[in-house]
Amino acid sequence: MSTYLPRAGAWRLRRTALVIGSGAGAAAAALELQGAFEVIVLETAGDEPSQGRSSASLRAGLKGVGGSDALRLDQPLRELGVDLDREFAELARELPAATRHQRRWSADTWRLFELCRQMGLDPQVTPKMPDPRCLLEEAVRRGARRIRGVKILRLTIDAGRATGVVAAQRARQTLYPASLLVLAAGGTATPGILRRSGIDCGPARFTDPVLLLSARRDGRDREIPTPFLVQREGFLLGPGLEPRRLCLRILLADAPRARRREAEELGIEIFRRFGIGREELRLRDEDSGQSGGALPLAPGEAGSLHPAALPENLYLADATLLPAALGGPHLLTILALARAVARAASVRLRGLRAS
């Protein structure tokens, strides 16, 4: 395999930022940095999809409604002193959430909603926002360069600074040099890249498992993914998408076994009131794709948003930074965190160049 080194002057390296990843964090960071830096987005191949983004949501094609769950779940970050109010307010304007999908609910969904309400579970209609990939598209429109299908081999580090990325695409390795690196490949893939680059980080501190409780139901109407949610201590419950099945999806938020049993029994009781017995139900586990915390922010890092273990010009913009499970779909929170990280990196890099 050959190695190609681009000419240093091609991207004016003193003002070049590499954003690594294909998810929400990468999109938010790229848009924030473009202009202050010449941004190159290396969209990773074989890594995680957009953090927290449901492929079912995208397939549902909720045009004019939004297909991604928009829940603010930043309590663990606030406890550290991380204030994302500004970022959440901006995202509310740029990716406005709505609950207009209620008009597209099936009769089964309405019935489940009413049953949960009658049980005193206080079901809440899930706000949906547009696909956050539009943020990356806007960054490209403003001049960011986008390179797809890249496999990140390692970061290059010299004298305590990250100097670039060695990546493979087809049969060629390429060194992409830069003055700022933002790694946002996901809570599982990012730690792997760090370890291959000689940077110590632990295993994921949390993984949010999902239970799918379902019963066969032919002739199902087209469903809206996660149309509403019931929030209980340690888990979230709401309708899921299963072909030809009526499904309840339970996000356990890294909960202990006792919470799992409580969640199962609640789902079984909802189905019983719907008219479906325990013997008709199927229970299976699913990977939520929500892992993180391998290099979490420490209390003294709330201002810099930069773990001390990293080179001064290397930042993380995904669930790797989270100190604990968020307890639900974390897409909106990752968007806000990534934007704040990009801002902190830009300010710090300007200060380092001036000193």
Tell me: do 70 and 171 sit in the same domain: yes
pLDDT of residue 27: 97
Question: pLDDT by residue (tens digit) across 263-303?
Answer: 999 999 999 999 999 999 999 998 766 789 999 999 999 99
- Report the number of distinct structural domains present in the chain: 2
Tell me: do 222 and 146 sit in the same domain: no
Local confidence band at 207 (pLDDT 50, 70, 90 cut-offs):
confident
Question: pLDDT by residue (tens digit) across 72-90?
Answer: 999 999 999 999 999 999 9
Q: Among residues 260, 289, 318, which one ends one of the domains?
A: 289
Residue 329's Cβ-side half-sphere holds a number of Cα atoms within 13 Å equal to 25
Tell me: do 216 and 187 sit in the same domain: no
Strands (E), the chain: 2-4, 16-20, 38-44, 68-69, 124-125, 128-129, 145-158, 161-169, 172-177, 180-183, 206-216, 228-232, 235-239, 245-251, 282-292, 314-316
Domain span at 284: 100-127+206-289
Which range of 24-38, 220-234, 275-289 scores highest in mean pLDDT? It is: 24-38
pLDDT of residue 221: 60
Tell me: do 240 and 122 sit in the same domain: yes
How much is the average pLDDT of 54-73? 57
pLDDT of residue 179: 95
Residue with tokens 């189905």: 271
Tell me: do 219 and 237 sit in the same domain: yes
pLDDT above 60 (res 240): yes
pLDDT above 70 (res 65): no
CATH of the domain at 236: 3.30.310
How much is the average pLDDT of 178-191? 95
Tell me: do 218 and 112 sit in the same domain: yes
Question: pLDDT by residue (tens digit) across 295-337?
Answer: 999 999 999 999 999 999 999 999 999 999 888 899 999 999 9
Residue 350 contacts residue 313 (beta carbons within 8 Å): no
Tell me: do 49 and 163 sit in the same domain: yes
Token pair of 233 as six digits: 């201590």
Q: What's the whole-model pTM score?
A: 0.89
Who wins on pLDDT, 245 or 289? 245
pLDDT of residue 234: 85
SS3 call for 216: strand
Instruction: Provide, rounded to the nearest whole percent, the portion of the chain with pLDDT above 90.
Output: 71
